Amino acid sequence: MLKTDSPRINQAPVTIIVIGAGQRATIYGNWALAHPALAKVVAVCESNAKRQANYAAVHAIDAAHRYSEYKNIPAGLADAAIVSTLDQSHADIVCHLASLGYHIMCEKPMATALSDCERMRDAILASKVLFACGHVLRYSPYTRALKAVLDSGEIGEIINIVHIEPVGWWHFAHSFVRGNWRNEADSSFSLMTKCCHDVDLVLHFFNPLRAVRVSSFGSLSHFKQSKKPIEAGNVKNCLDCPINTSCPYSATELYITKAKEFDKGWPVSVVCGGAEVDVDNAADLEDLVTEKLRDEEGGYGKCVYEIEDNDVCDQQVVNIEFEGGKTASLTMVAFTEAVCQRSTRIHGTKGEIIGDMSTFSVYNFGTKKKRIVNPKNADEMTDGTSSHSGGDSGIMEAFVLAVSTGDQSKMGCDVNDVFNSHALVFAAEKARVNGTIIKL
């Protein structure tokens, strides 16, 4: 946890432009609202008029500082920018903002093509601006405490790490089957869009050792027409399905149930595209969600087995060899009860750490004693959105402190580190597709 009273060059709040007013921007914006002495959102750029208006109202943003096109943002409007648009747009926006002199925090992944990551890295270095990527797992109290134990040498030399990202059956169906990340050509492969910060976390734990080889295996195993239950027949939309109350991937159960509870947060907010903000009762929200699920263009009412352009892996393993023959494995899997509640086992020469993103145990081989570490979760966000065990607040604290002091080291990494971790993700996917081992 960063100390927010650390010395700062600029005692005024860090001013921020938000580009892309979706879920992630709401989380980061809410942090600024909760810490007005540290940060203030002064401008918003969002092509969706409804979302733009909603975000501007929450942050009291003047009409003159609301933009629909990022190219219209002038230089000098704020200290920094947060880019939380869809993944494939990151590169152009970041390069443009860097040329204007803005310090930048870009949501993960950095970009969906290695060439775009290179372009972003070069633009950041040329402009000499500060840069952060939304690898929020690094910044939780849990990760900071675990990393401190590793750095202390308490479990000796790290030999192996086993890390699992359990995406959650309904979360995967929402985001990676029906949602924006279902198609590699339109977004990227699921290892990148979902697990680039898991790969980064493994690198963070092994640092300063360098990864030298990677292999990977995985596939789209379940979400395809051949796996559709016979009882569902030829139905294309969940609302018409005879098993829509018993199917684990039912859009009715996922979205309409939440609407009946008058839950306007994620994922209902994604389905409604901002229109839910003006709804003031559960019945009207249910009607709105039902209407959206009928909308073929939206896609959130479609049967998960009938989405023809869904082509990303629903399970994948990545094997990494580090210098000195040390190893790590990462598993990403859709079919879990836990939703993004990662688990990690770190095997050292003197002890072992087992953690679940909330608490971790440290076992000492010499003393044969185990202790439990329960880091404080400092994330104040309680609106139903993901806190990443406090990492969302942690990255905002780090970024604001870096900008206010002009010190990139406050982020704990730089644009070259971010680029290198993305390069490993691209290499892992190449290894999976080609059935090879990639030397790094």
Q: Once rounded to an integer, what is the mean pLDDT over residues 120-130?
A: 98
Nearest to 96 by CA among 113, 115, 114, 116: 116
Q: How confident is the model at residue 220 (pLDDT cuts 50, 70, 90)?
A: very high
pLDDT at 23: 86
Write out pLDDT tens, residues 127-138.
999 999 999 999
Helical residues (DSSP H) of 179-273, grouped into ranges: 190-206, 251, 257-260, 268-272
Would you place residue 2 in the very low, low, confident or very high pLDDT band (cuts 50, 70, 90)? very low
pLDDT at residue number 11:
75
Structure confidence by residue, pLDDT tens digits, 55-112? 999 999 999 999 999 999 999 999 999 999 999 999 999 999 999 999 999 999 999 9
Q: 302-327 burial, b for 16+ CB within 10 Å, e for fewer?
A: bbbbbbeebbbbbbbbbbbbbeeebb
**What's the pLDDT at 8?**
46
Query: Which of these, 213, 167, 161, lies nearest to 190 by C-alpha position?
Result: 167
CB proximity list for 184: less than 8 A, separation 6 or greater: 311, 312
- φ, ψ for residue 154, nearest 5 deg: -60, -35
Largest CA distance in the chain: 65
More confident residue, 355 or 390: 355
Element (H, E) at 55: helix 49-59
Q: What is the pLDDT of residue 7?
A: 44
What confidence tens digit (pLDDT) does each residue in 35-52 have? Answer: 999 999 999 999 999 889
**Region for 320 from its dihedrals, namely left if φ exceeds 0, alpha if ψ lies in -120 to 50, beta otherwise:** beta
* Percent of the chain surpassing pLDDT 70: 95
At residue 383, the pLDDT reads 40
What local confidence, expressed as pLDDT, does residue 260 receive?
96
Q: What is the dihedral of CA 387, 388, 393, 399, to 10 degrees?
A: -140
Query: Which amino acid, 230?
Result: I
The pLDDT, as a whole number, for residue 386 is 46
- Determine the pLDDT at residue 297: 84
Q: Which helix or strand (DSSP H or E) is residue 338 part of?
A: none
Per-residue pLDDT averaged across 167-177, rounded?
97
Q: Dihedral of CA 233/239/240/245: which sign?
A: positive
Q: Residue 193: is its pLDDT beyond 70?
A: yes
Residues 250 and 279: beta-carbon distance below 8 Å: no
> Which of 85, 130, 133 has its CA nearest to residue 421?
133
> Angle formed by the axes of helices 90-99 and 114-127, to 10°?
10
In this prediction, residue 381 carries a pLDDT of 40
Domains, the chain? 14-136 (3.40.50.720), 138-224+309-385+414-439 (3.30.360.10), 226-294 (no CATH)
pLDDT band at 387 (very low <50, low <70, confident <90, very high): low
User: What's the average model confidence in pLDDT over 367-380?
Assistant: 78
Mean pLDDT of 184-189: 93
Q: pLDDT band at residue 359, thresholds of 50, 70 and 90?
A: very high
Instruction: Using alpha carbons, select from 193, 197, 196 the residue that is nearest to residue 184.
Output: 193
Q: Are 419 and 440 in contact (CB under 8 A)?
A: no
